[in-house]
Amino acid sequence: MSWIEVLQTNPILYRACLAWLTAQGSKVVLAWMRSGKFSWERVTGAGGMPSTHSAVVSALAAGVIRFTGFTSPYTAITVVFALIVMYDATGVRQAAGKQAEALNKLIVHLMLHGHIGEEPLKELLGHTRVEVLVGALLGILIAYA
């Protein structure tokens, strides 16, 4: 069975993939509108508005609720999984992005004084609560569309 056939026969997986495509695609469009140029980094990169992670796990959980019912054990699994992913996006990954920003300032300072030749770290790792909320709402909307 090809992956296209799997998507056609699995409405939950289809909606989760559609949520990923929609959220990540909107990041590309929003970045293009802001900067006036296309960014390959926004095609696959993490962070930014909306949270693709939140959109995918919310579509997954909402799809499971829609097709198996709210009392299904699969609902419990996917809802807990979604909450962990969204918590991580605003907590751990957001903190890692702030640390990367601080380290990049240090790297630039050391580079200016000829003491280091490191490349800057990626700073856009996590999400704000609004980015996670918008991603979650997008995923739920796609699951029920």
> What are the angstrom distances between the C-alpha of 2 and each of 6, 7, 60?
6, 9, 21
pLDDT in tens, 28-77: 888 888 888 887 777 777 777 888 889 999 999 999 999 999 999 999 99
What pLDDT, on the 0 to 100 scale, is given for residue 121?
54
pLDDT in tens, 83-106: 999 888 877 666 677 777 777 777
Between 83 and 4, the higher pLDDT residue: 83
Helix ranges, 69-128 (H): 73-90, 92-112
Between 7 and 115, the higher pLDDT residue: 7
What pLDDT, on the 0 to 100 scale, is given for residue 93?
66
Q: pLDDT tier at 120 (50, 70, 90 boundaries)?
A: low
The Cα 72–Cα 61 span in angstroms is 11
Q: pLDDT tier at 142 (50, 70, 90 boundaries)?
A: very high
Tokens read off for 85: 């992913």
What pLDDT, on the 0 to 100 scale, is given for residue 45?
74
Q: Please count the CA atoms within 13 angstroms of the CA of 99 that sit on its side-chain side.
A: 7
Q: Which residues contact 26 (CB under 8 A, 6 or more apart)?
A: 49, 50, 138
What pLDDT, on the 0 to 100 scale, is given for residue 84?
92
